[in-house]
Structure 1
Amino acid sequence: MTIHNGSDPNDDFTPDESPNPKPARRRADTGREPTLMPGHLGTRLVSLAALVERIVAAFEQEHDITSPEMMAAHSQSDQLRLLRDTTQYVLAVESMVISPEEQADIMRRAHAELFGYGPLDAFFADSTVTTISIEGADKASVRYGHGDLVMQPPLFEDQAQLQRIIGRLLKRAHAAIQPDYPYLETGFTLNGRPMSLSLVLPPVTPLLTADLRLHPAQLPPLESFVDSEAACTLLTAIAQSPHGLVVVGEAESGKTTLLAMLAALSGQAGIMSVERAGELRLPADAVQHKVQWAVGDDQPNISFAEQIAAVLAQAPACILLDEVRADEPGAILPLLSAVQPPRQMWAFRGPAESKRLASALGMLARRGDATHSEALVGALYRQLPFVIVVRRREGRLHLHSINEWQFAPGADYPDYVALMERGWDGIALTGKRPAQGLALPEAFWAAPPSQ
């Protein structure tokens, strides 16, 4: 059977026949031309997308989600068995004669709409995909590994399909869009991979915007992230010490991954995490707490700040935060003002440059206190003495530097001291020593500093 594409290959651009023509403009629907199939015994063409839509509608009308057949259809083969009868019924109504291969393709598309995430399923099945960025139904980009985002042809048939898929993702994450919250961040584990879903909604943006970040199914070893044996040794010593630390970087720089690695290396008992999207791979005995979005009347909103306060009340030995942001200074107030605070490990979205970072952290602490006193600033420096900076550059995640806040005797403010930093030949020791005690031999510090 011949399948027709509903466009002329020479018709992708709209020419300008004016005396001074402008550059050709690509049509908005380019890449979304309908695939047409002969129906009614060849007397008319049927859109493949419309055919799939009819199968989905017929299936939903026939099978309620709570029906015994649906409740028993746990595997994909069970689901396809249910779907086959509906597919064959719709094909018969449309008088379509197609090959087994074509029917299998139609069923795959309908299955993705009913039980999966439509056009996103192929990306979710690709272990090299780390980011999917969506701006309305027309624009999408994908990041493979740690490279740059790659533009994709339109993934969704229309805005309605995009909203259905996003709604299904939110339902899986036990979240829902709320009129009063134009920003929403949540997540869940998909195919064994922790995934975050961040939404920005109208009227803040003209179109629904979504960013999906996928982490590896297994937490990689520290050596895969850090290209220096000395840096691995120093990071391990910091992780296994009683001192607090903060991992700093811009979005998608590897903060969450490195924080999970350090938590695993710490051997720390009594870890509790507070997370926005549940992306951390935690040690087996750690307890996760995630921001909760209201769903109906049974599940209320629980914010990042509220989860921190609830966890602090349980007196954990160590608390992990993923991630602290400058626009929520009040969230960290209970931690910095606690009389006996737990050990803390933060992921903080901030700049790598030392002066800007010091300013950002200082302002975060000051704004957390209504009086804008310096007490919280000093508490932040003392509770989180080690600062680990990461960057994404040239298609790779890099450890940029390992630093420490060091107080001179009698000083009110510390110096920001680099213990290791990246130079032309990679990351190396600077020759400076830590003020906080670390279980490292003298020979470690005797290595030549970076030039």
Structure 2
Amino acid sequence: MSDDAHDVVAHVRRDLLRPGTGPRERGEAVRRSVEGAGRLLGSTAADALARRAHADIFGAGPLQALLEVDGVTDVLVNGPDDVWIDRGRGVERVGVRFADAAAVRALAVRLAAAGGQRLDDAAPTVDARLPDGTRLHAVVAPLCAEGAVISLRVLRTRAFTLDALVRGGSVPTAWEPLVRGLVLRRANVLVSGGTGTGKTTLLAALLAAVPTNERVVCVEEARELVPAHPHVVPLTARRANVEGAGAVGLDALVRAALRMRPDRIVLGECRGAEVREVLMAMNTGHDGGLATIHANTAGHVPARLEALGALAGMSRAAVAAQAVGALDAVLHVRRVGGRRFVAEIACVERDGDGLRVVPVATWDGVDAPCTAPAWPAFVTRWAAR
């Protein structure tokens, strides 16, 4: 940023610190302050400087423009001249530069404060939700070498539908009646996949297929689900403060959701002891539930469930008994190149004192889907008519 621009931003900042300037007045206040900063500017330059000043004071600074690019899902800062974005084709480097490592750290600290969190040497990591819905994760020295590392995840305002995923090639046309039927017939569905494979996108599309007269309670660590459904109640976990108090975990939120007259309970991601609460809910009359879990293949889901169940004090046999009764289907998503698609449909069954996955159908994203021996019975039970 030029010295003139720095001077204008400083002038704007002083104006906005005056009493009586609330969030609703900020945009116009920035514009008036830029115009009154004592610089002769054309309308185009004034507009550009107003946007820059607003981003530096209220937004994500030099990252704000990246967050507003259509299709961008993640903005990643590894250092002053090491900035990357992801817009569905894998990460790509961009030409955004910070003055130095201190500038990266200053932005991380300000964004954390905007999300109501603290970030400093005593609390060197933070997870927060910014006012516009963007999810922030940041780490500062001494835990990282570059002063600060920032990861921003954009909250999707566009909610995908199952029809859109079929048209976009993420779900085979032949599978659409079955996938829709899993929702309409109130199957308990577990969506599995690796990082960045589109688990949340698929989950939101499934929720868009839920009948509009049903109440959906969504439990998430950080809000990402914005499904196209008129009756969604979002519950978000809270981290402990710097004194170690005030935490509200996903397991507590699942228990709270059970008391909120839900037609469906949705867990954004199983990653800890809350797996016990979800499996118990699905086994006690709360059908039609949905959740996601990290797993590299559908066949790895049993091991992941057992590992998470162990965190809740559950034995391998207990996890198997609960999961077999609770889970009706596993939908596994993959990412190959820039494409994300549903690659496997499966179900689970007992295998001694553990679990095993039974394939129903597979797809490589290119050729026609392949069906397994379990396909006919599975379709008969679950496919939409």
Does the 8 A contact of 2:105 with 2:140 survive in 1? no
Instruction: Work out which of the residue numbers 283, 286, 301 in structure 2 matches 1:342.
Output: 286
Matched, 1:118 2:71: no
Contact 1:270/1:318 (8 A) holds in 2: yes
Counterpart contact for 1:406–1:435, Cα < 8 Å: no
Checking the alignment, whether the CA contact within 8 Å between 2:362 and 2:369 is kept in structure 1 is: yes
Match of residue 158, structure 2, among 193, 197, 218: 218
Distance 1:110 1:418, change over 3 A: same
Structure-2 separation of matches of 1:272 and 1:243 = 16
Question: 1:323-362, aligned counterparts within 5 Å?
Answer: 323-325=269-271, 328=272, 330-337=273-280, 340=284, 342-343=286-287, 344-352=289-297, 354=299, 356-362=300-306
2:76 to 110, 133, 153: 133
2:144 pairs with 1:205: yes
3-state DSSP of counterpart to 1:237 = helix
Q: What TM-score, normalized to structure 2?
A: 0.83
Q: Give the whole-Å Cα distance in 2 for the aligned partners of 1:437 and 1:379.
A: 24
Larger RCO (CA under 8 A, 6+ residues apart)? 2
Alignment partner, residue 277 of structure 1: 222
1:101-250, aligned counterparts within 5 Å?
Answer: 105-144=48-87, 146-177=88-119, 182-187=124-129, 190=132, 195-207=134-146, 208-226=148-166, 227=169, 228-250=172-194
| Correspondence list, 1:87-98, <5 A | 87-88=37-38, 91=39
Structure with greater proportional helix content: 2
1:175/1:294 contact within 8 Å kept: no
The letter for the 2-side match of 1:212 is L
In the alignment, what sits opposite 2:358?
417
Deviation string, structure 1 residues 24-78 (Cα, Å, up to 9, x no partner): xxxxxxxxxxxxxxxxxxxxxxxx544333333333334426x12x228636344
**Residues 1:438 and 1:350: Cα distance change in structure 2 (over 3 Å):** same
- Alignment TM-score, normalising by the size of structure 1: 0.72
Task: Answer yes or no: is 1:61 the counterpart of 2:14.
Answer: yes
- Cα shift at 1:154: 4.2
The RMSD of aligned alpha carbons is 3.2
Match of 1:74 in 2: 25
Match of 1:17 in 2: none
Equivalence for 1:304: 250
> Residue 358 and residue 99 in structure 1: after superposition, are their counterparts in 2 closer, same or farther (change >3 A)?
same
Task: List alignment gaps of at least 5 residues for structure 2.
Answer: none
Q: Check if 1:427 corresponds to 2:378.
A: no
Cα distance, 1:368–1:426 mapped onto 2, change above 3 Å: farther
Deviations 1:121-166 (A, max 9, x none): 211221121221111333111122x102111234322334334433
Aligned residue for 2:73, secondary structure, equals strand
From the superposition, tell whether residues 295 and 127 of structure 1 become closer, same or farther in structure 2 (CA, over 3 Å). Answer: farther
Q: 1:186, 1:278 within 8 Å by CA — same for their partners in 2?
A: no
Kindly indicate whether the alpha-carbon contact (under 8 Å) linking 2:295 and 2:301 is maintained by their aligned counterparts in 1. yes
- What SS does structure 1 have at the residue aligned with 2:137? strand
> Please, which moves more after superposition, 386-395 or 208-217?
208-217
Mean Cα deviation higher: 241-250 or 153-162: 153-162
The secondary structure found in structure 1 opposite 2:381 is coil
Secondary structure of 2:231's counterpart equals coil
Shift of 1:239: 1.3
Summarize the Cα distance change of 1:53–1:244 in structure 2 as closer, same or farther, 3 Å threshold: same
Aligned residues: 373
Structure label with greater radius of gyration? 1
Q: Match for 1:399 among 337, 342, 355? A: 342
Name the SS of the counterpart of 2:127 in structure 1: strand
Contact 1:195 1:213 in 2 (8 A): yes
5+ residue gaps, structure 1:
1-47, 92-96, 445-451
The CA distance in 2 between the partners of 1:71 and 1:234, in whole Å, is 50
Distance 2:226 2:353 in 1: 37
Percent of paired sites with the same residue: 20
Please tell me whether the aligned partners of residues 246 and 346 of structure 1 are also in contact (alpha carbons under 8 angstroms).
Answer: yes
Residue identity in the other structure for 1:369: G
